[in-house]
Amino acid sequence: MVSSIASISTGGTPLESILLFAIGAALVVAAIAALAEWLHAKRIARVARLAFGPDGRPAAWTHLAPFARVLGLASAAFGATLLALHDPVESDDTPNPRASRQVLVVLDVSPSMNISDAGPNAEKKMRGVWAGEVLRGILDRIDMKDTRISLIAFYTKALPVLQDTTDKNLVVGLMDGLPLYTAFKAGDTDMQAGIDAAFAMAKPWPRGSTTLVVIGDGDLSKPVVPRNMPASIADSIVICVGDPVRPTILSGHSSKQDAWMLKGLAAKLGGVYHDGNTRQLPTEVVERLASVAPRLGDGVSLRELGLVTLGIGAFLVSCIGPALLLVGQPAKSQRLLRATSRAKTQIAANPSLSRTSLGGQPS
C-alpha cells in the first residue's frame, strides 16, 4: 500500500514514515471499533424482538452498518493523522538554485488600495489585502521548486521591493495592509512607471520564462502604454480589485474599480484580464500559463489525501446513526408501530373506545 502511494510528492519527514504511522493509527482504530461493534451486536441480540418486532430481525441493509462504521472511523483516523503529521510549508521541496521560471508581480500600492470594498463576503476587505489573497491563490497552484518571485510596487513612481525570492508567504505578507504608499511622495498613480520597471527587470531573463502579474484597481490618471516588452515575458495576467459600482471618496475624488482601464492594458500586453474583486483566478487559466509549472506532484498531494479520507470517514460515521434510526427497522415492524401509535392516540383522546375496535394491538 505504501509503494502504491509513493508517487505523492512531499519532503521533510519521509513519506513512508508518515504513511506507515497513519496506516498504523487507522488499523488500531479499526481494531478498537470492530471490538466495540462485536460487543454492541451481542447486546442488541438480547433485545432484538423488542427493538425489531416479533421476527427480531432488523432491515437487511443494517448488516452493513458495522462494517461502514469501522471503515469510517479507520478512514477518519488515517486522514487526521496525515494532516497532523504533514506540514505543507515545512515539507516544501528545496528550491532549485537554478530556477527556470519567474513570476513578476507589479503591484499598485497607492492610497486607494487601502479602501475596504473588496472580497466576496459582506464584510469587505481592503483592496490590497484581498489582492494578496488572490495572488496567494495563484502562487499556491504553481511549483515553487523551480520558480522565483519578484515584486515591483508603484504609486507616483516604481520601486523594486523583492527580487528572486522563493518565499511566497513573504510576498503575500507585504500585501497584508502595510501602508507601502508612505514610501512615495503623494501624487497621481503612475502604473506606466511600474510596467516600465518590470520590463527592465525582466529583460535579462531567459526567453519565455516569466509570468507578469499586474494587480491594481485601475484608479489611474492616464492610460498605460506598454513599450518594448521583453521576450522573457511569456504570459501576462491583469487583475483588478475594488467595487466596480459604488465609488469611495478619497482625497477629493471618487475611487472605484476601473475595469476598462485594466482590460485595455491586458489587451495591449496580449494577456488575460481577471476581475478579482470577488473571485480567485480560475485554475484552468493558471494551468494554461506557459511559464508556470502545473500543480505540485503528478497525483494527489499528501494534504489532499488526508482531507479526502477524513471527509469520507466523517461522512460515513455521521450518517450511519440517523440512517439506522429512520430506516433500521423492517417495513413490517414499522407498520405495526405506526398502527399501535395511532391506536394509542385515539384511545387517549377518547378513553371509551376499546383498543380492539380500533384495529390496534394491545400495548
- Angle subtended at Cα 146 by Cα 144 and Cα 148, rounded to the nearest 5 degrees: 70
- Following CA atoms 315, 318, 321, 324 in sequence, which dihedral angle do they give, to the nearest 10 degrees? -20
d(CA 57, CA 33) in angstroms, rounded, equals 23
User: What 3-state DSSP class applies to 238?
Assistant: strand
pLDDT digits (tens, 9 = 90+) for 262-288: 899 999 999 999 998 888 888 777 777
d(CA 137, CA 134) in angstroms, rounded, equals 5
Q: Which residue has the cell 414499522?
A: 334
Q: Which residue has the cell 472605484?
A: 256
Query: 80: pLDDT confidence band, cut at 50, 70 and 90?
Result: very high
Range list of H helices, 123-258: 127-139, 168-173, 191-202
What's residue 354's pLDDT? 54
Listed residue (321, 323, 320, 358) closest to 342, CA to CA: 358
User: What 3-state DSSP class applies to 165?
Assistant: strand
pLDDT digits (tens, 9 = 90+) for 178-201: 888 888 998 888 999 999 999 999
CB 336 within 8 A of CB 361: yes
pTM of the model as a whole: 0.58
Q: What percent of the chain has pLDDT over 70?
A: 79
Domains and CATH numbers, the chain: 3-88+303-329 (no CATH), 101-299 (3.40.50.410)
- Angle subtended at Cα 35 by Cα 30 and Cα 37, rounded to the nearest 5 degrees: 90
Query: 94: pLDDT confidence band, cut at 50, 70 and 90?
Result: low
Sign of CA dihedral 284, 289, 290, 294: negative
CB 148 within 8 A of CB 201: no
Q: Strand (E) positions, 177-267?
A: 210-216, 233-240, 248-250, 253-255
- Angle subtended at Cα 106 by Cα 103 and Cα 107, rounded to the nearest 5 degrees: 125
210-216 and 233-240 strand pairing: parallel
Q: Could you tell me the three cell numbers for 95?
A: 528550491
Backbone phi and psi for residue 28, each to the nearest 5 degrees, phi listed first: -65, -45
- Following CA atoms 35, 41, 47, 49 in sequence, which dihedral angle do they give, to the nearest 10 degrees? 180
